[in-house]
A and B are shown apart, each in its own frame.
Chain A
Amino acid sequence: MLTTIIFKEIHDNILNLRFIVGFILCVLLTLSCVMILTHDYRQEVKDYGTRISQVDDFLGKYAHRNRLYPLILPQKPPDAFRPLMVGIPRDADLGSFDDNPLPAIFPPLDLMFIVTIIMSLLAILFSYDAVSGERESGTLKLISSNSVSRASILVGKWVGGTISLLIPFLFSVLAGGLYIAIQPDLPWDTSAWLSFVMLVLASVTFISVFYLLGLFVSAVTRSAAVSILSSIFLWVLLVLVLPNLSPFLAAQLKRIPSVNKVNREVFHLTQEERDEVGRKLSQQVRDKYQKQYGKPFEDYLALAENEIRARVSADPQLMAMHESFRKEVDQAWEEANRIQGEKARKIQEDLKLKAESQTRLARQLACLSPYADYAFTATDISGTGMRSLRYFEGITEEYSGVLWDYLQKKEVAAKARDPLFDENSFIDLGDRPRFEYREEPLRARLKGVLPYWGVLLVFNCIFFAGAFVAFIRYDVR
């Protein structure tokens, strides 16, 4: 009997206008999005290649120790999933004087948009009248008068409805996948295809939440008109309101100090106050030497740099004093840097911890919305989200360490060759370690998204349980 109900549901849906409209919309949008984004991806790959070769050319001619950063730092290559998912836009938040404001104004048309807006709305349109609509037309009474359990009717409706809803989605996503597969310059490996499968599964979990939401509302209302309004009201809250409010609410509940104030304080500590402390500590060194050497030290201080060089080379005693004095003054400045750096680090650390705590709260609040859970899951699985950016920052830090060691060695070797070598001299960086970006393994990404995916499954269970209880108690007359 269950199979009959499922087939009846699929049959009814397929012949309905909503299926035809949904199918056309889904296929057209998915294919055009994939084509447009593939074109953008190619542009970005080209752009990335040009940037890398420009940096190489430039460093070949102009590399000097004082001005290497930020050119020498690694750049993130375009994400492999860019033809499907734009993810977290980077251009919009660069905050530079010349950034392009357009990506911030126009939300991208990608798989995320298709699933979260089109498919979730379509899911509600497929289910809002599943119970109340049949009650109004009188067919629910007829079905219930047969020897079929209400549980079977509900499960049949859910399975049949979800299958018919997934037909346009899976067809269009597979067509999009096929388009990507036949592109010779899109090198998707096994891991990328596995991520694709996981992404589709996560999308199905998300779409099912909204189908069940519509079914639940349909089972607690008496008319389809009330059911559609209530369902869309909940959709608006869960998709459009709650996630967008979450960072602002978190910012009010857990405040962080003003970033600009902190930056200014750090600047004050590490520049102005550092100079004061440094001067004070080096004065102590001077006083010590003054006490120890007396007049000869006073005379030494009065000398100009070139005179010191000349006198020091001729007088071994003066040389010993000069070297030990310079060393202690350097140590005094190092100590000043350490003391002030420590103070600045504490303030920055405090800001970082508070900002992390605020971000965590915003994330937790956002998780109350299936939209946010899906956004985190989908962007992290596809490597286009915040996790991917954090991962990139991590490997950039590692690479910077390697690069720093390399530069230190280069500098020592250059100084040994040329005593006049300074921070404005050219260094040949042709043999520097190159940055190679490797995506975080799929297993780690999946582990990271499990909590969000889990919340989506919990939403499914809650709405199914709600629909089940409501339908058991439903007055079919």
Chain B
Amino acid sequence: MLGVIIKKEIQENLYSYKYVVIMLLTVVLVFTSLFVMYHDYRQRVADYEALLPDKGKSSALLRPTSLAIFSKGMDEALCSQYRIAMNVGISAGQNQHAFNTMFRVFDTPDLFYVISVILSLCAVLFSFNLVTSEKEAGTLRQTLACSLERTRLVAGKWIGGFCCLALPFVLSFLLGLTLVSFAPEVQISREEYIKLALFLAGSLLYLAFFFSLGLAASSAYSRSSSALIVSLSLWVFFVFVLPGLGSIAAARIVNIPSVQKFTVLKHQVRMKKYMNFYDNVREKGSVENIDLRQLDPENEAVVADYRGKLGSQIALTRAFTRASPASAFNYLAADLANTGILERLNLKRAYLAYKDIYLSHPMDVTGEVKGDYPAFTYQRLSLMEVLRGGGLVNFTILILQNVALFAAVYVLFLRYDVR
């Protein structure tokens, strides 16, 4: 019987206007996003290659990852050129987007954004009237007049409806991935394919949550218009409001100075060190016996204190905002694509470690490191590291949220008045 219900749901959906609109939107957006982000990636790779001759000379540079085509995250900042100098510490170079101010105004339309905001809305729109429309048409009463369990009916509706929603997305994702992987600049390793498979699985879990949300609203109200209003309000709450509130709460608990204030502080530390150094040089008459490494501002307490607090705020924000599936999916997608906070923290640690190695080499009187020293090398986080660093937790949270919501749908449907 379950098979019959699923088949009926799929058939009904396939012939509906709703399906046509959502399928078109999904296909067009997935391809547009991949096309746009592929061109952005290509430009960034060209920029990286142009900078390559500088690599190794007291600067560190990271190649853009192909996975950024799917979820760009912070890859623009990760792939900035970072220079290391004895008296300045680590400073970042300009990035291409800084020159077009419009990039600062709007969001990045990568696949993550499309799924997180637009397809989640489509999922809600797909399911908000699955129960109410049948009740309004009177078919729900007729169906349940037969010897059919409500459990089977709701399961059939869920499976049939979700298959219709997921099918165009999965197909366009796979087709898009195939096309992208043929591009000469794109290098996707076997492990990265597994990451993309997990990205797809995470996306389906995320969409399933919003599909269940619409179904829950449909099972809680007798009219489609009421179910629509409630499900859209809940969509806004889960996608925009809850992550925002979580980050605000974390910022209240771990208060850190603004970046501007920290920049002023760090600059002052540098200047004080420089002035003391200069006085020292004047006293001794030369820099021969003075350790120039004392000018390095990165090891100061004020810098370490700021970094510690920023790390705590990020950890707390991650913990709080995971209550929202949008944030859990955000962390999962960006970390799997090696463009998220996890990668950023790891890269920062690598830069600081490299700076110490670089400054431990002999330097001349001007503070320029001389002789051979190793170039900066960095390996982005492996799949296991991503999963251990929070990926598994995010997956589990998405699964639990789905289970909880489906249970709510089930209970609501069992209590539903079909008359």
Q: Do A and B come from one complex?
A: yes
Residues of A within 8 A of B (CB): 17-18, 21, 25, 29, 36, 43-44, 47, 50-51, 54-55, 58, 62, 64, 67, 70-71, 75, 88-102, 104-109, 113, 117-118, 121, 125, 129, 133, 224-226, 228-230, 232-233, 236, 240-241, 243-252, 255-256, 258-261, 263-264, 351-352, 355, 358-359, 362-363, 366, 372, 375, 386, 389, 424
The answer for the CA separation of A312 and B109 in the assembled complex, in Å, is 70
A236 lies within 8 A of B107 (CB) = no
From B46, which residue of chain A is reached at the shortest CB distance?
A258
Query: In the complex, what residues of B have CB within 8 A of residue A99's CB?
Result: 77, 259
* A21-B230, A248-B36, A261-B47 given; A88·B263 CB < 8 A: no
Query: In the complex, what residues of A have CB within 8 A of residue B96's CB?
Result: 256, 258-260
Query: In the complex, what residues of A have CB within 8 A of residue B82's CB?
Result: 97
The answer for the CA separation of A249 and B39 in the assembled complex, in Å, is 10
Query: In the complex, what residues of B have CB within 8 A of residue A43's CB?
Result: 255
Question: What range describes how many residues of B lie at the interface?
Answer: 35 or more
> Shortest beta-carbon distance, A82 to chain B, in Å?
12
Give B94-113 interface residues, CB cut-off 8 Å to A: 94-109, 113
Q: Which of A107, A241, A363 contacts B29 (CB 8 A)?
A: A241
* A71-B267, A102-B317, A258-B46 given; A109·B244 CB < 8 A: yes
Q: Which of A129, A226, A247, A261 contacts B100 (CB 8 A)?
A: A247
* A117-B236, A260-B51, A263-B94 given; A245·B32 CB < 8 A: yes
* A67-B271, A109-B240, A243-B106 given; A248·B258 CB < 8 A: no
* A125-B229, A247-B100, A260-B94 given; A96·B263 CB < 8 A: yes
Q: Which of B92, B98, B113, B233 contacts A96 (CB 8 A)?
A: B92
A260 lies within 8 A of B81 (CB) = yes
From B266, which residue of chain A is reached at the shortest CB distance?
A98
A71 lies within 8 A of B94 (CB) = no
Contact residues of B: prevailing secondary structure: helix
Determine, out of B157-165, B306-314, B384-392, B409-417, the stretch whose residues face the partner at the interface: B306-314
Query: In the complex, what residues of A have CB within 8 A of residue B344's CB?
Result: 101
> Shortest beta-carbon distance, B326 to chain A, in Å?
10
* A71-B264, A104-B74 given; A249·B247 CB < 8 A: no
Query: In the complex, what residues of A have CB within 8 A of residue B251's CB?
Result: 102
B21 lies within 8 A of A18 (CB) = no
B98 lies within 8 A of A95 (CB) = yes
The answer for the CA separation of A96 and B247 in the assembled complex, in Å, is 21
Nearest 9 interchain pairs by C-beta: A362-B102, A355-B99, A247-B102, A244-B109, A109-B244, A106-B247, A97-B90, A244-B106, A248-B36
B46 lies within 8 A of A121 (CB) = no
A107 lies within 8 A of B233 (CB) = no
From A237, which residue of chain B is reached at the shortest CB distance?
B25
Determine, out of B5-13, B186-194, B272-280, B363-371, the stretch whose residues face the partner at the interface: B272-280
* A125-B232, A236-B118 given; A362·B100 CB < 8 A: yes
From B96, which residue of chain A is reached at the shortest CB distance?
A259
Query: In the complex, what residues of A have CB within 8 A of residue B25's CB?
Result: 233, 236
* A125-B229, A351-B99 given; A98·B259 CB < 8 A: yes
Chain B, 69-88, contact with A by CB distance < 8 Å: what is the 0/1 string?
A: 00000100100111000000
The answer for the CA separation of A255 and B99 in the assembled complex, in Å, is 12
Chain B, 216-244, contact with A by CB distance < 8 Å: what is the 0/1 string?
A: 00000000111011101100100011011
> Shortest beta-carbon distance, A213 to chain B, in Å?
15
The answer for the CA separation of A64 and B32 in the assembled complex, in Å, is 54
From A87, which residue of chain B is reached at the shortest CB distance?
B105
A96 lies within 8 A of B91 (CB) = yes
Query: In the complex, what residues of B have CB within 8 A of residue A17's CB?
Result: 225-226, 229-230
The answer for the CA separation of A75 and B244 in the assembled complex, in Å, is 27
Contacts A97-B348, A351-B99 aside, 4 further interface pairs with beta carbons under 8 A come to A17-B229, A88-B105, A101-B74, A109-B240
> Shortest beta-carbon distance, A37 to chain B, in Å?
10
Q: Can you show 22 pairs from A to B with CB atoms below 8 A apart?
A: A64-B275, A75-B260, A93-B98, A95-B92, A96-B259, A97-B90, A97-B92, A100-B313, A105-B247, A106-B244, A109-B240, A133-B225, A224-B225, A228-B228, A229-B18, A233-B25, A252-B39, A256-B100, A259-B94, A259-B98, A366-B106, A375-B105
**B373: interface (CB < 8 Å):** no
A129 lies within 8 A of B225 (CB) = yes
Query: In the complex, what residues of B have CB within 8 A of residue A50's CB?
Result: 261
> Shortest beta-carbon distance, B23 to chain A, in Å?
11
> Shortest beta-carbon distance, B102 to chain A, in Å?
4
Query: In the complex, what residues of B have CB within 8 A of residue A264's CB?
Result: 51, 54
A241 lies within 8 A of B118 (CB) = yes
B267 lies within 8 A of A100 (CB) = no
> Shortest beta-carbon distance, A135 to chain B, in Å?
15
From B99, B125, B351, residue with most partner A Cβ within 10 Å? B99
B307 lies within 8 A of A47 (CB) = no
Query: In the complex, what residues of A have CB within 8 A of residue B360's CB?
Result: none
Chain B, 293-313, contact with A by CB distance < 8 Å: what is the 0/1 string?
A: 000000000010011001001
A100 lies within 8 A of B50 (CB) = no
From A20, which residue of chain B is reached at the shortest CB distance?
B229
From B84, which residue of chain A is reached at the shortest CB distance?
A97
A44 lies within 8 A of B258 (CB) = yes
A67 lies within 8 A of B47 (CB) = no
The answer for the CA separation of A55 and B103 in the assembled complex, in Å, is 32
A109 lies within 8 A of B121 (CB) = no
Query: In the complex, what residues of A have CB within 8 A of residue B36's CB?
Result: 245, 248-249, 252
**B117: interface (CB < 8 Å):** yes
> Shortest beta-carbon distance, B85 to chain A, in Å?
12
The answer for the CA separation of A104 and B104 in the assembled complex, in Å, is 10
Q: Which of A88, A117, A248, A355 contacts B104 (CB 8 A)?
A: A88
